[in-house]
């Protein structure tokens, strides 16, 4: 028995669920709704919080994105169904400054940003987490598919039990201090069907709601049109140039291209398949070349977040890394170059490694997440 005569409850506290307040970050989707419903059913003191992250009027017409107005309505309905309080917080200014502006500027700089990571890092796990503390919550729970275990040196982050749903790539920047306060109840589920079955069991109105696919403020995945609105004049035309110097055609804006892209480049009639290998933003040039030019062995990183045991800078680390969210982890060596910088040496070269993407570290074996960093231009 722990102090007070209680065994640890399912969230790891030595008190009854009724005495344990948990703030649930509710997006309006099925995952976070199930987390809130399950915890409420277990008897926890649940408080649901939904963030309004961008223009509410525009959001009402946009389904399937995590922060839209219709989703706020869905989160409120779930709270009413399960009988716990629900609050909507206006984070538009914070979201624009911390996520949207950097997204646009990164694209204009020739990078391929991942705004969902920045949203977790700078909004959900920073400002929202602070709000949860202000509400005297013992912890904050989310619907992310990732696991948290208590290790010998404190809480550890691990990949989800369902590899197809694992969201560890998007949560690498979670700090040890944040991890101590966060809970991820869905991480142990083995399929999305389990989640939907739980939603149906609770009679939730979102049980059959489709998963969101787009970045919430980028309708239909059309990054270029969003950036043009945010940064007028960003889509200046320029040349498409082969790596050997030949001018092959014209483009309607560097922001319409990403490193590794093959389809839709806008040139034809050539025998060899060509890929975008570099973006020259200042010269307004899209550099293309053969696939082998995309192969990268050394990856420079900034803003490294270390979740492993011991001193990050003490020496090199044998790890597996993921350089894109859709890639499987591959073997690598992690070479620290400073408190928050490093170089990753891939044992097998990877293609399409792009500045602005994340490189996430995993233990050589097993499911543990050791942190990660942001890929910079070498």
**Contact (CB, 8 A) for 159 and 147:** yes
pLDDT for residue 183 is more than 60: yes
Residue ranges covered by each domain of the chain: 3-143+185-220, 235-293, 295-375
Render 238-274 in DSSP notation, one character per residue: EEEEETTS-EEEEES-GGG--TT--TT-S--S-SS--
Residues with catalytic roles: 119, 216
pLDDT at 25 over 90: yes
pLDDT tens digits for range 285-301: 999 999 999 999 999 99
Question: What pLDDT is attached to residue 255?
Answer: 85
For strands 358-362 and 182-183, give the pairing: unpaired
**Residue-level pLDDT at 231:** 82
Residue 216: its pLDDT value, please?
80
Query: Tokens representing 17?
Result: 């669920």
For domain 3-143+185-220, give its CATH number from 2.30.110.10, 3.40.50.1820, 3.30.465.10, 3.40.50.620. 3.40.50.620
pLDDT over 80 (residue 358)? yes
Helix, strand, or coil (residue 56): helix
Position 211 scores a pLDDT of 81
Quote the pLDDT of residue 233.
72
Please state which architecture CATH assigns to domain 235-293.
Roll (2.30)
More confident: 61 or 358: 358
Surface-to-core class of residue 42, CB atoms within 10 Å of its CB (0-12 exposed, 13-18 middle, 19+ buried): middle
The predicted model gives 310-318 an average pLDDT of 95
Q: What mean pLDDT do residues 136-158 have?
A: 96
Distance CA 138, CA 46 (A): 11
The helix/strand/coil state of 345 is: strand
- For 118, half-sphere exposure in the C-beta direction (CA atoms, 13 angstrom radius) is 21
Q: Give the closest residue to 333 by CA, choosing from 350, 315, 355.
A: 315
- Whether 252 shows a pLDDT value over 90: the answer reads no
Query: Which position has the higher pLDDT, 269 or 200?
Result: 200
Averaged confidence pLDDT in the chain? 90
Label the pairing between strands 182-183 and 154-159. unpaired
- Is 345 within 8 Å of 333 (Cβ atoms)? yes
Q: Which two tokens stand for residue 309?
A: 């045991």
* Reported confidence tier of residue 226, pLDDT bands at 50, 70, 90: confident
Just give the CATH number of 295-375.
2.40.30.10
Residue 61 is predicted with a pLDDT of 46
Collapsed DSSP state (helix, strand, coil) of residue 195: helix
pTM of the model: 0.89
End-to-end CA distance of the chain: 54
**Helix or strand run (H / E) with residue 69:** helix 69-82
């Amino acid at each position: 028995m722990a102090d007070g005569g209680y065994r640890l409850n399912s969230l790891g506290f030595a008190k009854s669920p009724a005495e344990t307040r948990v703030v649930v970050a509710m997006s309006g989707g099925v995952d976070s709704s199930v987390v809130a419903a399950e915890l409420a059913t277990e008897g926890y003191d649940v408080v649901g919080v939904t963030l309004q992250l961008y223009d509410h009027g525009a959001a009402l017409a946009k389904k399937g994105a995590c922060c839209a107005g219709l989703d706020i309505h869905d989160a409120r309905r779930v709270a009413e169904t399960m009988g716990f309080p629900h609050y909507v917080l206006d984070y538009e200014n914070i979201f624009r400054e911390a996520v949207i502006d950097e997204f646009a500027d990164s694209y204009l700089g020739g990078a391929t940003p991942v705004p969902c990571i920045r949203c977790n890092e700078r909004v959900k796990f920073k400002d929202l987490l602070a709000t949860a503390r202000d509400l005297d919550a013992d912890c904050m729970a989310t619907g992310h598919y990732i696991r948290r275990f208590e290790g010998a040196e404190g809480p550890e982050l691990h990949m989800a039990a369902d590899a197809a749903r694992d969201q560890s790539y998007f949560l690498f920047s979670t700090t040890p201090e944040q991890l101590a306060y966060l809970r991820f109840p869905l991480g142990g589920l083995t399929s999305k069907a389990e989640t939907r079955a739980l939603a149906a069991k609770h009679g939730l109105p979102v049980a059959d709601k489709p998963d969101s696919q787009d970045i919430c403020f980028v309708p239909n995945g059309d990054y270029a049109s969003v950036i043009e609105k945010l940064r007028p004049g960003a889509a200046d035309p320029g040349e498409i140039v082969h790596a050997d110097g030949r001018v092959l055609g014209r483009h309607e804006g560097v922001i319409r291209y990403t490193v590794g892209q093959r389809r839709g480049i806008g040139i034809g009639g050539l025998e060899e398949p060509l890929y975008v290998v570099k973006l020259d933003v200042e010269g307004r040039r899209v550099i293309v070349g053969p696939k082998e030019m995309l192969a990268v062995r050394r990856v420079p990183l900034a803003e490294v977040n270390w979740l492993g045991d011991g001193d990050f800078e003490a020496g090199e680390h044998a790890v597996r890394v993921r350089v894109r969210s859709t890639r499987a982890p591959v073997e690598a060596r992690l070479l620290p170059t400073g408190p928050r910088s490093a170089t990753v040496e891939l044992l097998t070269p990877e293609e399409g490694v792009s500045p602005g993407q994340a490189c996430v570290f995993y233990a050589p074996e097993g499911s543990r997440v050791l942190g990660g960093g942001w890929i910079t231009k070498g």
